[in-house]
Amino acid sequence: MTLPASRPLLLLAALLPAAALSQSPPAPSVPSQDPASASPGANFNNQFPGLDPSGGLLRFNGQTWAVENNLLFKARFEKFLATPEEMSAQEAAHRQILNEIIALLDPNVLKPQTVTEAYRLLARASGFVGDSRLCDTLSNAIYSVWQSKRNQGQLAQANVILEEERARTRRNMATSASADAGGLRASNASQSGSAITQAGRLESLTEGAARIQANNVKSDLSELQAKIQFQGLLLQFFIQRRFHHVIIGTRFYRVLFSDGDSKLNLPDATQNPFKASGMPPTVSTIDSLANEAMHDTKTNVQAFHKLYEMGELRSASERLRDALIIGEFMPETRTVPFERKRRVLNFLQKAEQLKSALEVRDYGTALQTLEGPDGLLKIAPDFDSSKYRSLIETTRSTARLMLSKARNAAISGDREGFEKSLNDAAAIWPNNPELAEVASKAFQAGDAGAQALQEMEQLIAQKNTRRIAEDPGRFLAAVQTATPEKQAQLKAILDEFKTIEGSLMAAREMDRQGNPAGAWEAVEQAGKRFPGDLNLSQAHALYTTKAADFVRIVRRAQEHETRAQAPSSLAWYLTAQRLYPKSELAADAIKRLQVEVLTSVKH
């Protein structure tokens, strides 16, 4: 059964805009016919962004995504978990100023001096790093509105002057008309001049009326433009999830535009979410949603702390995820202790390790990650391991069955059946410790074993060890009667193949996540150990092209280091680290060169 999403959770587009979601790598998409999206009126007809808490599904514009598999969100969540909490005195002072501004603009205590004081505090608040100069932007918008109102005042004063001039002209016209009527002997020339004068005055009246009308239109347009700009800024703050700034902005809006008109005058495309949801597109709606989002963030963080203290780390991580989605910049979220965030990050990393181990069919590591001393079930007892356990046990049982068939084939002298069963067992569970044991006890058909050993020698001479690793069962059986050196050589080849495949898999995953620099570094390090592997060489060429800037900077750093130019080499490595902060190659070089530079400075 799908749980209804609260309104702030419906505003996930602030974090995962439709463009970013549509361009994300092929994360598992949820079928469009899931029950929640098919039900009448679900999530406001599935047009407004919505989160289904029961499955972590984001629905927007008629499509559905699994939030936990979205790389954009996962990267942002991991960045948050790896960032120390904001407990500095500056952060506390910034929050205090924002709360003070909100209190000064409270309608119950609002006075001209409180508005002035609140405006003055915006300049102080904008000086804090955590504010991102948003208060400065709001301050400029308020100043623009005041400037617009001053222009409106000047236009109104001009209209008063024009109206006075029109009244004077009307009086003159009346006086002239009365004098002409009383002058019985006025000459024709005099009467003609009087008519011309009256026509000029009539034209002056018409021009004055037109100017007054034009000034009124300018005044109305000026106020409407100011409203549109200010409303656009409020919506921008809301999308950025800067809810304190939203509240401050809406309260200033009511002060600046006291006509009671809070309807959004933004383009229809901007208001579509409000229309689809049935909520009125007004400033009050934005204010209400911001307040509700702040409340939901607080309750999510409170739930996180309670679940964390109860040891339910999986549920706690989900509540912290929900808090980040709604209120990433709320103080309750930013001040979560770093120690607790690190434990959540450790849990998520363990869960990813479990998935990775299952993907490469390393079921021994998967079981250790799940049930070991530091496994998932130890750090998060509420972790649901049933499907993982079932997969591991089923696969292990199937692999043991294949090994049993291989033993029976060896006993009966069925060489072909033995090799097939052994290869099947290796394909199901490549790292099965029982695999080598069965191979060591298997019989050796003299000619076939000798032929396999000879072929292995030829493949080694040709540096085609990949062919050996792709058919491990036959060569494992062949070396059982060979020298220990030959057995060790085959083991090294298989271990090498495992390392190479692991590096290639890691590189592909990083490239899929949009990290070509990490992919290049993975194959670069593996290529130094195994320079003869064709697949590594091809991958190296591919990722060198994709991460051209990073590779060029690293090569430049290496050249300077080779020429014993430690300071310049260190600078290049620091540049490379800025491009790819997680680069182990750059980090190791920086540590090494820092020692060298400091040593040279001391001497």
Q: Mean pLDDT across the chain, nearest whole number? A: 74
DSSP class of residue 48 equals: S
Specify the higher pLDDT residue, 532 or 62: 532
- How would you classify the pairing of strands 63-66 and 50-52? unpaired
Q: Residue 48: what pLDDT?
A: 38
Whether 590 has a pLDDT exceeding 80, the answer reads yes
Q: Is the pLDDT of residue 20 over 70?
A: no
> What is the DSSP-derived secondary structure letter of residue 81?
H
Supply φ then ψ for residue 65, to 5 degrees. Answer: -130, 150
Residue 87: what pLDDT?
Answer: 75
The dihedral of CA 506, 509, 515, 519: what is its sign? positive
- Phi-psi region at 46: left, alpha or beta (left = phi > 0; alpha = psi -120 to 50): left
Q: Does the pLDDT value for residue 304 go beyond 90?
A: yes
With a CB cutoff of 8 Å and minimum separation 6, the contacts of 133 are 126
Range from 156-160, 528-532, 570-574 that averages highest in pLDDT: 570-574
Least confident of 76-80, 535-539, 554-558, 598-602: 598-602
Across 480-505, average pLDDT: 75
For residue 425, give the nearest of 409, 446, 445, 443 by alpha carbon: 409
For the ranges 60-64, 132-136, 251-255, 337-341, the lowest mean pLDDT is seen at 60-64
Coil vs helix vs strand at 65: strand
Question: Residue 104 pLDDT > 80, yes or no?
Answer: yes
Beta strands 57-60; 63-66: pairing state: antiparallel
CA dist., res. 330 & res. 130, Å (int): 11
CB-facing half-sphere around the CA of 106: CA atoms within 13 A = 7
**8 Å CB contact between 396 and 362:** no
Please name the amino acid found at residue 483: T
d(CA 74, CA 78): 6
Which residues, in sequence order, are bridge partners of residue 282? 263
Q: Which segment of 129-138, 141-150, 377-386, 443-452 scores lowest on mean pLDDT?
A: 443-452
Q: 526 or 253: which carries more pLDDT confidence?
A: 253
d(CA 96, CA 252): 18
Greatest mean pLDDT range, 16-20, 85-89, 182-186: 85-89
Instruction: Over range 242-249, report the average pLDDT.
Output: 91
Question: Does position 542 have pLDDT exceeding 90, yes or no?
Answer: no
For 254, the token pair is: 């009511």
Domain boundaries, the chain: 8-73, 89-180+191-261, 389-500, 515-602
Q: How many CA atoms lie less than 13 Å away from 481 in the CB half-sphere?
A: 14
User: What pLDDT, on a 0 to 100 scale, did the predictor assign at position 257?
Assistant: 83
**What are the pLDDT digits (tens) for 192-210?**
556 666 566 565 556 656 5
Residue 453 structure tokens: 């050993």
* pLDDT of residue 303 exceeding 90: yes
Residue 583: predicted pLDDT: 84
Check: pTM over 0.75? Answer yes or no: no
Token pair 């119950």 in the structure block, residue = 108
